Amino acid sequence: MLNECRLNELILHMALSNYERMIQLAEKIFATRTDPEQLDVDETVIAHLLEIHPSTVSEYNEGNGPCVWILVIPTTTALMQQFLEKKITEKMLYERTPLHIKYEAIYLCSAMVLDEYRGKGIATRLTVDAVNAIAKEHPIKTLFVWSFSKEGDQLAKKISVLTQLPLFKRSV
């Protein structure tokens, strides 16, 4: 028999769209609204990311809103180094990444997966596809990440292995 807490959680999930659940997940994991160093993704940011490259934003959607969201940011090696050394924030990395140049590095910015879609390889496939699409047009030499969870850490390592690109990590 379901306990009351789990039952309330199931009822809440039925009432909310996947989009609303993704927003809640983002706020829970990343706390972007209270951390000025992190990129607070909105429609303007997404439009700019798509201008950097169409593969920066990926989602998996079965009709009730996104179940998986992936954000990657191609950038320069110099900006990557500044970010890894904590000389610039994630928001500054995004703002300072120039348009219409050849990028050498990809920041694995975020991967959000609703609980019932975890462990199915969707985030891995979307991220590898995004990295490969960007690498077709840019001389990508490395990946980098600022991970907030063990799952994010594992995903980044898996992407590194599958794309055969070295991975650098910013400490938390």
Selected residue with higher pLDDT from 161 and 36 = 161
Q: Which one is predicted more confidently, 4 or 156? A: 156
* Range with the poorest average pLDDT among 26-40, 101-115, 141-155: 26-40
| Residue 62 confidence (pLDDT) | 85
Q: What confidence score (pLDDT) does residue 26 get?
A: 56
Is residue 92 predicted with pLDDT exceeding 60? yes
On whether the CB atoms of residues 134 and 70 are closer than 8 A, the answer is: no
Tell me 121's DSSP state. Answer: S
Domains (ranges, CATH) in the chain? 4-169 (3.40.630)
Contact 94, 126 (CB under 8 A): no
Span 107-150, pLDDT tens digits: 999 998 888 898 999 999 999 999 999 999 999 999 999 988 89
Mean pLDDT of 23-46: 68
Q: Which of 34-38, 94-98, 116-120 has the lowest mean pLDDT?
A: 34-38
Please, what is the average pLDDT of the chain?
85
Band of residue 61 on the pLDDT scale cut at 50, 70, 90? confident
Whether residue 10 is predicted with pLDDT greater than 80 in this model: the reply is no
State CA 65 to chain mean position distance: 17
